[in-house]
Amino acid sequence: MSSSESAEKMAPGTASGDGVVKPGGSGGGATRFTVDDVQKLICHIVMALATLVHFDLKSEESIEREDGQEYTDNVMASIRRLLDNLCKLCSVIGVDLARVVVLKMRINRLKYDEDLCRQAADVIKYNKMAGSVFLGKDADSLLGLTRDEIFFRPWLAIKAAFLKERQALRAEAYHFGRSRGWLDKYTPMSVCMSMVAEVGELAEVLQWKLRETPVEDLGDDVIDRLAREVADVTIYLCHYERICIYGDHSFRSGSQTEIRSMMSNIK
pLDDT tens-digit series, residues 105-147: 998 888 888 888 887 756 555 445 544 555 555 555 577 776 5
Backbone angles phi, psi at 34, to 5 degrees: -125, 175
Residue 121 lies in a domain: no
pTM: 0.79
Across 1-10, 168-177, 195-204, the highest mean pLDDT is recorded for: 195-204
The answer to the question of residue 7 being in a domain is yes
Partners of 214 in beta bridges? 34
Domain with 22, as residue range(s), is: 3-110+152-178+188-265
Asked if residue 258 is part of any domain, the answer here is: yes
- The rounded distance, in Å, linking the Cα atoms of 196 and 223 is 20
Asked, for residue 130, whether it belongs to a domain, the answer is no
Instruction: Write down how long the chain is.
Output: 267
Say how far residue 31 (Cα) sits from the centre of its chain.
24
Q: Which DSSP letter does residue 10 get?
A: T
Integer-rounded Cα radius of gyration of the chain: 19
Would residue 201 count as lying in a domain? Answer: yes
Mean pLDDT value across residues 14-31: 42
State the burial class of residue 105 (Cβ atoms within 10 Å of its Cβ: 0-12, 13-18, 19+).
buried
Residue 21 lies in a domain: yes
Residue 94 falls in which region: left (phi positive, over 0), alpha (psi -120 to 50) or beta = left
Q: Are 37 and 46 in contact (CB under 8 A)?
A: no
Residue 39 lies inside a defined structural domain of this protein: yes
Residue 67 lies in a domain: yes
For residues 138 and 195, what is the distance between their CA atoms, to the nearest angstrom?
17
Instruction: Tally the domains of the chain.
Output: 1
Q: Report, as an integer, the average pLDDT of 33-43.
A: 96
The per-residue pLDDT of the chain, averaged, comes to 77
